[in-house]
Amino acid sequence: MPANALARAARVRLMIFDVDGILTDGSLHYGADGELIKTFNVLDGHGIKLLQQSGIGTAIISARKSSIVERRASDLGIAHVRQGVHDKQAAFEQLLAETGISAEESGFIGDDVIDLPILLRTGFAASVPNAHAEVQSRVHYVTRAGGGAGAVRELCDFILRAQGKYEAALAPYLGRGA
């Protein structure tokens, strides 16, 4: 991992997440009636909430479209959700324009070559251990945990530590107030 990962994470004001392979393990489960099932990790979800509570915005950009993702984003309070996006770079640029956040102040975690246009432009690029090799070789940080198995929480904790906000984020759970 490049030495500048901490410095890059320290600048993140908006963290953007891919879904399949990041918020989930990348498996797609279809029932007999065609219904798609996705499994999300609660630790990841709480990590996203900790980012939000620490003043860091969150967003989703995903090539697939799913009502399940819409529901999960709503549950987590993720205001910016772009689904069914095949030109992820255009969605990324629109998101930056809407939020007024620069590319250098944004972070993105993705796992496949479709994510490279954002990963190469964002200030803090991250991925997971089972990501495509072309992705892993071009990011600033690769989590130890896999997608859907705590990778997002690990990343959120890394960002909070890089910004000196980790202890304050944990304080309410340690009986020390906010």
Do the bridges between strand 14-17 and strand 124-127 make them parallel or antiparallel, or are there none, so unpaired?
A: unpaired
Domains in the chain: how many in total? 1
150 within some domain: yes
Check residue 144 and give its pLDDT.
97
CATH value at residue 99: 3.40.50.1000
- Blockwise average pLDDT, block size 10, the chain, 178 residues: 83 98 91 81 97 98 93 96 95 98 98 97 98 97 97 98 97 80
177 within some domain: no
16 within some domain: yes
Check residue 35 and give its pLDDT.
67
Two tokens, residue 27 = 């498996």
178 within some domain: no
73 within some domain: yes
CA distance 24 to 32: 21
Mind giving me the DSSP string for the chain?
--TTHHHHHHT-SEEEE-STTTTS-S--EE-TT--EE----HHHHHHHHHHHHTT-EEEEE-SS--HHHHHHHHHHT--EEE-S-S-HHHHHHHHHHHHT--GGGEEEE--SGGGHHHHTTSSEEEE-TTS-HHHHTT-SEE-SSPTTTTHHHHHHHHHHHHTT-HHHHHGGGTTS--
The predicted model scores a pTM of: 0.94
45 within some domain: yes
Which residue range(s) make up the domain with 155? 5-172
